[in-house]
């Protein structure tokens, strides 16, 4: 029960890593508010939470890239919750285009959801987090944000921006006892990577020789969310099977 009596908001909770984290957080005692643009996925997660015994789980549909949606989300939270302790800014998606192929539409979509979504979610939920007296925000970046991936220029730029936004937020929000950290995941077996053409290549450059399961990302998120990480602030936690930290991306299993 590492999150006993906590209230968590998880964006992108309708599938993949967000769903796995919602289920884990609930098992650890947290009430979970699931946010997603995908109504069906979000409601499915809530059903799964209820089957697990979390009767207070709630789904709120919102597009995190749209200010009016996020403001409505914050208003709904303000009406039904006394506070928010944990915010996992996880919603995201990728369009894989090299720099030259990147359209303005792709750029706006990648920055809008992956980076602006974190700004908006944190900005409008902050008043409820301040009410908690202590809190943890976890921003989901990627190893593409660390190294830059030539196959997805706009996504890499947006995910890189998250790392610096995390540093700034960690400084600005520490006075409220709100810690802000960032997670850089490597390849994770979710809908996002299901049809990835370079999946085998990716596994070959990962020392652990496989992709992560969503639960293997949820546990590090749980650590950052919990009081066990009470002195961890402004950190970038890399969870990538050894792909970048040890080898700087040069490793090959072949």
Residues lying near ligand NAD in the complex (CB under 6 A) are found at 11-12, 14-18, 36-38, 41, 63-65, 90-93, 113, 117, 140, 142, 185, 187-188, 190-193
Q: Please report where in the chains the tokens 């700034």 appear, as a residue.
A: 168
Minimum distance of ligand NAD from residue 183's CB (angstroms): 8
- Are β-strands 236-239 and 178-185 bridged in parallel, bridged antiparallel, or unpaired? parallel
128-147 as b/e: b if 16+ CB within 10 A: bbbebeebbbbbbbbbbbbb
Minimum distance of ligand NAD from residue 62's CB (angstroms): 6
CA pseudo-torsion sign 189, 195, 197, 200: positive
CB nearer to ligand NAD: pick between 38 and 78: 38
Minimum distance of ligand NAD from residue 1's CB (angstroms): 25
CB nearer to ligand NAD: pick between 134 and 208: 208
CB nearer to ligand NAD: pick between 95 and 232: 95
CB nearer to ligand NAD: pick between 30 and 141: 141
Choosing from 155, 176, 219, 231, which is the catalytic residue?
Answer: 155
Minimum distance of ligand NAD from residue 124's CB (angstroms): 14
Structure tokens at 69: 């949606």
> Is residue 124 flagged as an active site residue?
no
Nearest Cα to 139, choosing from 203, 206, 91? 91
Query: What positions carry a catalytic annotation?
Result: 155
């Amino acid at each position: 029960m590492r999150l006993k009596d906590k209230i968590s908001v998880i964006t992108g909770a309708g599938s993949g890593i967000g769903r796995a984290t919602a289920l884990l957080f609930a098992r650890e005692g947290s009430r979970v508010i699931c946010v997603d643009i995908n109504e069906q996925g979000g409601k499915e997660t809530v059903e799964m939470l209820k089957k697990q015994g979390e009767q207070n789980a709630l789904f709120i549909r919102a597009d995190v890239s749209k200010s009016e949606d996020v403001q409505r989300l914050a208003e709904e939270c303000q009406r039904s919750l006394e506070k928010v302790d944990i915010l996992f800014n996880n919603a995201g998606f990728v369009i894989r285009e090299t720099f030259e192929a990147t359209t303005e539409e792709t750029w706006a979509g990648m920055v809008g959801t992956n980076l602006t979504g974190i700004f908006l979610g944190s900005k409008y939920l902050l008043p409820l987090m301040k009410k908690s007296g202590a809190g943890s925000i976890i921003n989901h970046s990627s190893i593409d944000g660390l190294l830059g991936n030539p196959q997805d220029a706009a996504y890499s730029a947006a995910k890189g921006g998250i790392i610096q936004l995390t540093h700034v937020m960690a400084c600005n929000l520490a006075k409220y006892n709100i810690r802000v950290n960032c997670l850089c995941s490597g390849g994770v077996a979710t809908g996002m990577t299901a049809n990835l053409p370079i999946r085998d290549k990716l596994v070959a450059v990962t020392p652990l020789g496989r992709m992560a399961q969503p639960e293997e990302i949820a546990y590090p998120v749980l650590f950052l969310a919990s009081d066990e990480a009470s002195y961890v602030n402004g950190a970038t936690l890399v969870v990538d099977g050894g792909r970048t930290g040890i080898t700087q991306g040069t490793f090959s299993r072949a």
